[in-house]
Amino acid sequence: MAKPSLPQGTRDFGPDTVRKRNYIFNTIRSVFELYGFEPLETPAMENLDTLMGKYGEEGDKLIFKIINNGLDNIDKEKQAREDFEKVLQGKNVKGITERALKYDLTIPFARYVAMNHGQLTFPFKRYQIQPVWRADRPQKGRYREFYQCDADVVGSNSLLNEIEIILMIDQVYSNLSKHFGENENNRINISINNRKIWTGIAELCGCRDKIVEITVALDKYDKIGIDGVKEELIQKGFNEEQTHTIFSCLFPDTSFYTTYDDDYLNELGLTKDEKNLAVTLYGYNKDLYAIITCLLWNFKEHKIEIGTSGVKEIMKIIFPFCMDNYLLQSSFINLDSTLARGLNYYTGTIIEVKPPPAVKIGSIGGGGRYDDLTGLFGVPNIPGVGISFGVDRIYDVMEELKFFPGEVHTGTQVLFFNLGETESKAAFTIMQQLRNSNIRCELYHETVKFDKQFKYAEKKNIPYTLIIGSKEIAEKTCVVKDIRNGEQQTIPVSKLADFAFI
RNA sequence: GUGGUUAUAGCUCAGUUGGUUAGAGCAUCAGAUUGUGGUUCUGAGGGUCGCCGGUUCGAACCCGGUUAGCCACCCCA
């Protein structure tokens, strides 16, 4: 018999872990509900062509494909062999595989909306908490099976949705632990950017078709720095002038742009309202103001409207958070001009959530706006915006920072000692009464010496033991011991229901 | 998909240039202790040294392969 083992990148979760994970799930779910989102579940598997081509070239490779049943049917042997030849050449063939495990929750959701758009009331706000699978090689913070918690709004272009999503992110972390936001170092970082800005920059460089190359390179800025990015761009075939254009947009000479100048704002062609936005941003964060005005200037100069509208969207989203510093409790929001995000279906706002800087783990959530996801399934013109929480990583972050509250443990509260047949019968009756008043209890399964029963309680983190022997039966009392401090007291059975087993 | 690294008792790990019967701590079980555990003491059980092959008189140790974990790259939650 071979040693039992798990498939690569998957894990079992013991009782303690499940409780903590459920705490995260429940917290996120209740915030989703609070903001008016409704639950949805979709199957673990989808038709392969529902998923293929939606996540970029790399993404396709990471989709877990399911081999068809019945390939051993002798009548179809010839066909199966021919099909398998094609698989060996790297093709997907219906004869061999036509289903796959879902890779994320967004595409199956788009498929659902496309199939049911006639019945849905728009804007449709749904949340979904389910596992997804990726055939990736596991490493720190990366698993082959993990849970996502998604909330999306489809059928609305309003930027109010983006603002609500940011508020939800903040509220989830506030509810998860009071320590998030306790001080500056513990805050969650919500970065936003806009794909339209990338499109604009690509146009500035005169290569709109190379937007993916630009975003992939700039997305690594945090990791490889400005020189590394430059090197990668040049490797991808960008010339000196183009890289200069990109950098001058994203990393402006702040000393120039941080001076507030009314005439300059007028030159940018902003409306009165937009100018007010800019003034507020200036008061809130000079660097933010610098990047925004720099981008606006560049796009204005070259009449690239898509870029301009991207910047204006960012301004409108950040604005409420500049007006009220207390809107965000556990996080802060900033414009990260290098933020790109790999998924290619995003078209507007993009959002990425990062843990406090002390934790070296990638993003713990992300999302963005997509104009036409359902168009992929034949139903055009349903725009949407959504966010995804990565529970497995949030767990790792909470664990590393020791942020799980003590109340997460919801195991047995009272262990009834087993002192013999008559005694345990009496104990059993009392135990059922306690259970009826919602106290979690159990009776030790056999009559053994106290030593063992105590150790059992200690290991299972059961705070109270309850001892009923012949003496207690006669007196209609019981002995309640708090094993955390060793204190014990004798109380009448009639008063037991009033005892606070906390 | 590419590269690095690790694999020895239930857990954490020692293990000399290759040399007789592979060790420690923790955990488990039994006893000191028949209604009060956590400390202490005594004793016991527990191993195909990841798996397969090679070199050698002899391999936990050297070599090749393989599987899995971890880490990094690509990419991503």
pLDDT at A113 over 80: yes
The reply to whether A458 Cβ lies less than 7 angstroms from strand B is: yes
List of A residues 118-157 with CB within 7 A of strand B: 134, 136-144, 146, 148
Band of residue A342 on the pLDDT scale cut at 50, 70, 90: low
Q: What secondary structure does DSSP assign to A57-109, as a single string?
A: HHHHHT--EEEPTTTT-GGGHHHHHHHHHHHHTT---TTTEEEEE-S-SHHHH
Q: Are A497 and A441 in contact (CB under 8 A)?
A: no
Closest CA to A354 of A346, A344, A362: A362
Q: Per the structure block, which two tokens stand in for A411?
A: 């195991």
Instruction: Tell me the nt nearest to A9, Cα to C1'.
Output: B69
A105 CA vs B50 C1’ separation (Å): 37
- pLDDT (tens digit per residue) in A13-60: 888 888 899 999 999 999 999 999 999 999 999 999 999 988 888 888
Buried b vs exposed e over A424-462: b needs ≥16 C-beta within 10 Å?
Answer: bebbeebbeebeeeebebbbbeeeeeeeebbebbeeeeb
- pLDDT (tens digit per residue) in A236-293: 888 889 999 999 888 887 777 777 778 888 888 888 889 888 988 888 888 888 899 9
Question: Tokens 């802060």 — which residue?
Answer: A332
Q: Are A150 and A323 in contact (CB under 8 A)?
A: no
Our measurement of the distance from residue A334's CA atom to the centroid of its chain's CA atoms, rounded to an integer in Å, reads: 18
| Chain B nucleotides reached by a protein CB under 7 Å | 1-3, 28-30, 33-38, 50, 68-77
Backbone angles phi, psi at A483, to 5 degrees: -75, -5
- pLDDT (tens digit per residue) in A198-222: 999 999 988 888 888 888 888 888 8
Give the pLDDT confidence score for residue A35 in this predicted structure.
97
pLDDT at A104 over 90: yes
List of A residues 62-91 with CB within 7 A of strand B: 62
Query: In chain A, what's the furthest Cα-to-Cα distance?
Result: 94
Band of residue A122 on the pLDDT scale cut at 50, 70, 90: very high
CA distance A358 to A187: 10
The CA-CA-CA angle for residues A388, A31, A381, to 5°, reads 50
Reported ipTM: the value is: 0.82
Q: Are A285 and A260 in contact (CB under 8 A)?
A: no
Q: Per the structure block, which two tokens stand in for A97?
A: 């595989």
Mean pLDDT, all residues of chain A: 89
Q: CB burial class (10 A; 0-12, 13-18, 19+) of residue A121?
A: exposed
A5 CA vs B7 C1’ separation (Å): 14
Instruction: Return the number of other C-beta atoms located less than 10 Å from residue A275's C-beta.
Output: 14
- pLDDT (tens digit per residue) in A368-391: 999 999 999 999 999 999 999 999
The reply to whether A224 Cβ lies less than 7 angstroms from strand B is: yes
Instruction: Give chain A's domains with CATH numbers.
Output: 188-355 (no CATH), 411-498 (3.40.50.800)
Give the pLDDT confidence score for residue A3 in this predicted structure.
66
